[in-house]
Amino acid sequence: MISTSTVLLFGPKHIALAETTGGAFRECIDAFDGYTFLYPKSWIQSTRTEILRNVPISVSTGSVEDLCPPEKAAEKVLKQYLTEFMPTRLGVRRESNVLSASSKVADDGRLYYEVEVNIKSYASNNELAVMPRDRVQRLVWDRRYLSLLGVENKRLYELRLQTPEQVFVQEEDDLRRVMDSFKVIKTA
């Protein structure tokens, strides 16, 4: 099972920020939990959950190999997201799919899994209406989730990036750079 605790971007005090060369990105280093990644300078630091766009890092016991193959890991990630974002309204219909699942050995020599999913939710503003024509559902949630899973310190790490699908194309280069920069590191 993935995810036992979530650390939101820059929430804990033990995370260090450093300027990096390249101008448009900063580096986030969490030496306590054991990971590092780059993020765009235009992103703001926050200790509260921003539901539209955020970068949580989950740390749990386990290994990427426990999830083999990548396609199986992607199905587990999707199931986890569907559980986390379970609607509380009546009559909500959801569509979800795995867009891609792959493994790679990064330049640090570690195995990482990359997972990309889409989740859509449809709801009616008048779900208790008597007539079906008055309960027309419309798209209310259309999200792209990019996840990178890696193992170090006998723990499974998940970097999750999420953004509304309609702005994904504009943000894709930055999101992929963040994903590519994520590395797990040994802790003291």
Percent of the chain with pLDDT over 90: 23
Q: Kindly report the pTM of this predicted structure.
A: 0.78
Beta-strand ranges (E) seen in the chain are: 5-7, 16-19, 25-30, 35-40, 57-61, 93-105, 111-123, 138-152, 155-164, 183-184
Quote the pLDDT of residue 21. 46
CB 15 within 8 A of CB 29: yes
The better pLDDT of the pair 139, 10 is held by 139
- C-alpha to C-alpha distance for 110 and 33, rounded to whole angstroms: 17
- Cα–Cα nearest to 122, from 135, 106, 105, 104: 135
In CATH terms, the fold of domain 5-184 is Protein Transport Mog1p; Chain A (3.40.1000)
Is 179's pLDDT higher than 50?
yes
Cis peptide before 40 (omega within 30 of 0): no
Give per-residue pLDDT as tens, 114-157: 999 999 988 877 766 677 777 778 888 899 999 999 888 888 89
Domain residue spans of the chain: 5-184
